[in-house]
Amino acid sequence: MKLLVVGGSNSRMVAGYTKTMREELERLGSPVSIFTNISLGANTCMLGLASLKELPDGTDYDWIVIEYSVNDYGLFSTGDIDLWRASFEGLIRQAARRWPKARICYVMLSRSNVSAKLGAQ
């Protein structure tokens, strides 16, 4: 399996979800032969879109994992939902266009202060 990860700092953590995801894929009999992680902390899907554009061709990825939910929260809270919508759609469209056979998976993570607020209501 060839896997591409595009996201924020949660996708870069050494002991984070990507480590567990790879281990689980191995356990299920789908070894990851290529693991490309172009994630960069403290950035939104807008940088992900630019980073994806700069990624050279040559690998036909089977899975593309996108994780920006925590960092994109700032776009929501300031009312830039249209900017987020266009950027995120562009990110998915570019990935789908470049790797039409790849499955695209979105990882939804939550900010700890947001989940605490939701739990208190």
> Does the global pTM surpass 0.95?
no
Quick check: 65 and 3 in contact, CB under 8 A?
yes
Higher pLDDT, 31 or 84: 31
CA dist., res. 110 & res. 100, Å (int) = 29
Q: What is the CA radius of gyration of the chain?
A: 15
Residue 13 near residue 70 (C-beta atoms within 8 A): no
Kindly tell me if the per-residue pLDDT of 50 is higher than 80.
yes
**Cβ proximity of 108 and 70 under 8 Å:** no
pLDDT tens for 25-41 read 999 999 999 999 999 99
